[in-house]
Structure 1
Amino acid sequence: MTGIPEYNFPAFNQAADYLRRSGYEVINPAEFGDPLLSWEANMRRAIRGMMKADRVVVLEGWEKSRGARIEVELAEKLDIPVVNMFEKAVNG
């Protein structure tokens, strides 16, 4: 996520670890994002990964991220459920 130290990769990785331990297969953009590439190139990568998903999990503060807003809008238009990570952790 632009504007956050380390692009918020530590939070992405923590969420991915939690979900994997819970038995989910995870496509984590922090694992294939490249800070040397343009924002547009990284978004293309993220969207390609997202097209393989049966749901999208968002992190706290996702509304502040231009990329996350695009991903959520696309997921909603394609009927891919969007789950808030905090709610997932609290409610299972």
Structure 2
Amino acid sequence: MKRIYISGPMTGLPGLNRKAFFQAAKELRALGFEVSNPAENDGPGELLSWEEYMRMDLIDMLKCDTIALLPGWEASKGAHLELHVAHRVGMNVVSVAELHRQELEALPA
């Protein structure tokens, strides 16, 4: 089973865009994927800096074989960093929408 890391914009968005992350995680899990969702990572109980969250998120991401990009990722410096690292370590890179499309195409007619 593929392990997928969800990447997308959070900083500056209402509710840190958690709704989009949780919806994508729910949909991908329903398709049978194991999902790493950074919106589920609240840290050790206190508010952390952006850099501390990114370090934790990158550790989680590197345990995956695929990174799935949410809409709007282009405006996120964190998503750009995650994408750069993903390319450097040879991870598969897809959009969340592309994963849905691929799974639907794989279903028997």
Q: Which TM class, normalised by the smaller chain length?
A: over 0.9
* Greater gyration radius: 2
- Unmatched 5+ stretches in structure 2: 1-9, 104-109
Structure 2 residue 57 is matched with structure 1 residue 46: yes
| Structure 2 Cα separation of the partners of residues 55 and 18 of structure 1 | 16
The residue aligned with 2:72 is 61
Higher strand residue share: 2
Number of positions where the alignment pairs a residue of Structure 1 with one of Structure 2: 92
RMSD of aligned Cα (Å) = 1.3
Q: Aligned pair 1:27/2:36, yes or no?
A: yes
* Structure with bigger RCO (C-alpha 8 Å, 6+ apart): 2
- Per the TM alignment, residue 3 of structure 1 is displaced from its structure 2 partner at its CA by 1.3
2:97 aligned with 1:86: yes
TM-score normalised over the length of structure 2:
0.79
Listed as ranges, the gaps of 5+ residues in structure 1 are: none
Please tell me whether the aligned partners of residues 33 and 45 of structure 1 are also in contact (alpha carbons under 8 angstroms).
Answer: no
Q: Quick one: percent identity of the two aligned structures?
A: 45
Q: Which residue of 2 aligns with 1:2?
A: 11
CA distance in structure 2 between the partners assigned to 1:80 and 1:18 by the alignment: 21
Matched, 1:76 2:80: no
Counterpart-to-counterpart distance in 1, 2:68 and 2:42: 17
Which residue identity is paired with 2:68?
Answer: V
- Where 1:26 maps in the other structure, the secondary structure is strand
